[in-house]
A and B are shown apart, each in its own frame.
Chain A
Amino acid sequence: MNDIIKQIEQESQEVRAKFPGFKPGDTINVAVKIKEGNKERIQNFQGTVIQRKRKGSNGETFTVRKISNGIGIERIFPLLSPNIEEIKVVRRGKVRRAKLFYLRGRQGKSARIKERMN
């Protein structure tokens, strides 16, 4: 990649440094700013990270999956978006692949992820 583009993307590193490192399999809590008319409030979305895309670039996104009232919900967040207030790692998971799409077809016991201890 060209040096100039690298330097431009470097500016976003400060935003990146704000967040803890997390991987697919981790359970995280994302605090998202939501605008309703003139008011701004914060909504939390807690679930399992099932993928991180375009890692390292300005367009990096991650997908969080959770089961809400028995229905699987997946939300894609842009990591560097100014609307993301905070990311908290609730639990670290031990998984053997980068994309956890296999979770989509599972529920209950088989959808568990072992905890990573280290």
Chain B
Amino acid sequence: MSGIIGKKIGMTSVYSADGRNVACTVIEAGPCVVTQVRNDDVDGYNAIQLAYGERKPKNTPKALLGHFKKANTTPKRKVVEFRHFRADVGHEVSLGQEVILKDVFAEGDFVDVVGASKGKGFQGVVKRHNFSGVGEQTHGQHNRLRAPGAIGACSFPSRVFKGLKMAGRTGGKRVKITNLQVVKILPEKNVVLVSGSVPGAKNSFVILEK
């Protein structure tokens, strides 16, 4: 799996050659730095570690400062490992090397995009699990309009089953959207346009995987 780390910029739309208006997410991706190369014989698996996004040295843990120094680069904000990166890209990468968009993707490729969805706070079951609510405002509903209803039977099983859908913290989770097409690459700006929407707020980190 090859990939790159980026930042969500926002959305716009572009026209395809056949005249369709395609909604796109603009992602500023790369250049990333290879901060570690993992090998089968040393680490037990084959991967590379990429880092992206500037970070002030005073806000970086000492341990990480040393880690970035080994790769001969400035401290970075986001560090992600990609397994079997070299096999997918088709050439060897070395420690401290820069990885740019063109190394990994071409226009027309299908990519998976991983991001942290927007946090919604504590939400009820209607928003969180798409329950339909009671359905009517009148006919004796009082305040039960968006209530979950029954959560199980009575003396058997005498408990509530694990994993039952209930109210709680919503969003802010890692979400992967698969098969988004790369519509356009602007190499001089390190910007890529993928079709459709992508999880997370603007300026949040996203991982593009192929």
Check: B32 CB closer than 8 A to any chain A CB. Answer: no
Q: Mark B1-34, 1 if CB is under 8 A from A, else 0.
A: 0000000011111110111010000101000000
Give the A-B contact count at a CB cut-off of 8 A. Answer: 47
A contacts with B, residue count (CB < 8 A): 17
B contacts with A, residue count (CB < 8 A): 18
CB < 8 Å neighbour of A5 from B9, B15, B18, B19: B9
Q: Mark A54-74, 1 if CB is under 8 A from B, else 0.
A: 000111000000000000000
* Complex contacts, A57 vs chain B, CB 8 Å: 12-13
- Which of A43-51, A78-86, A90-98 touches B? A78-86
Check: B93 CB closer than 8 A to any chain A CB. Answer: no
Secondary structure at the B interface, as helix, strand, loop or mixed, is strand
* Complex contacts, A58 vs chain B, CB 8 Å: 12-15, 21
Q: Indicate if the CB atoms of B26 and A8 lie closer than 8 Å.
A: yes
Check: A110 CB closer than 8 A to any chain B CB. Answer: no
How distant is the Cα of A2 from the Cα of B191 in the complex, in angstroms? 13
* Complex contacts, B28 vs chain A, CB 8 Å: 4
Secondary structure at the A interface, as helix, strand, loop or mixed, is loop
Given known A4-B26, A4-B28, A5-B26, contact A82–B12 (CB-CB < 8 A)? no
CB < 8 Å neighbour of A7 from B10, B15, B189, B202: B189
* Complex contacts, A1 vs chain B, CB 8 Å: 10
Residue of A nearest to B191 (CB): A4
Residue of B nearest to A3 (CB): B9
Known A5-B10, A9-B12, A78-B21; 7 more pairs at CB < 8 Å? A4-B28, A8-B14, A58-B14, A59-B13, A78-B15, A81-B21, A83-B19
Chain B residues near A (Cβ < 8 Å): 9-15, 17-19, 21, 26, 28, 186, 189, 191, 193, 202
Chain A residues near B (Cβ < 8 Å): 1-2, 4-5, 7-9, 12, 33, 57-59, 78, 80-83
